[in-house]
Amino acid sequence: MVDLALCQGHSVCLGEAPEVFEVIEEDNGYPQVRILLQNPPEALRAKVMKAVKYCPNHVITVLED
């Protein structure tokens, strides 16, 4: 989950897990993150966790089933 109200589009998540995240330029403000895979496979877990850890605004949360 990404808190889009607080996301400033730094693209760190995209750098860590491009299979899971995309950053879209917005006309009226900061770029916004879009999640490409809502339930990424276990093989991508380490990358997703790095995206969570290194997000400058700490707006990414992993929800466990």
Q: How many domains does one find in the chain? A: 1
Q: CB–CB of 59/1 below 8 Å?
A: no
Residue with the bigger pLDDT between 27 and 62: it is: 62
One DSSP character per residue, 27-46 reads TTSS-EEEES-SS--GGGHH
pLDDT greater than 90 at residue 43 = yes
Q: Record the pTM.
A: 0.84
Instruction: Give the count of beta carbons closer than 10 Å to the beta carbon of residue 36.
Output: 13
Max CA distance (Å), the chain:
36
pLDDT at 45: 94
12: domain CATH number is 3.30.70.20
Residue bearing the bigger pLDDT, 27 or 57: 57
Q: What is the pLDDT of residues 14-33, one digit of tens each?
A: 999 999 999 988 787 778 88
What is the rounded distance in angstroms from the CA atom of residue 4 to the CA atom of residue 2? 6
Q: Which domain holds residue 16?
A: 1-65
Percentage above 70 pLDDT, the chain: 98
Question: Contact at 8 Å (CB) between 34 and 22?
Answer: yes
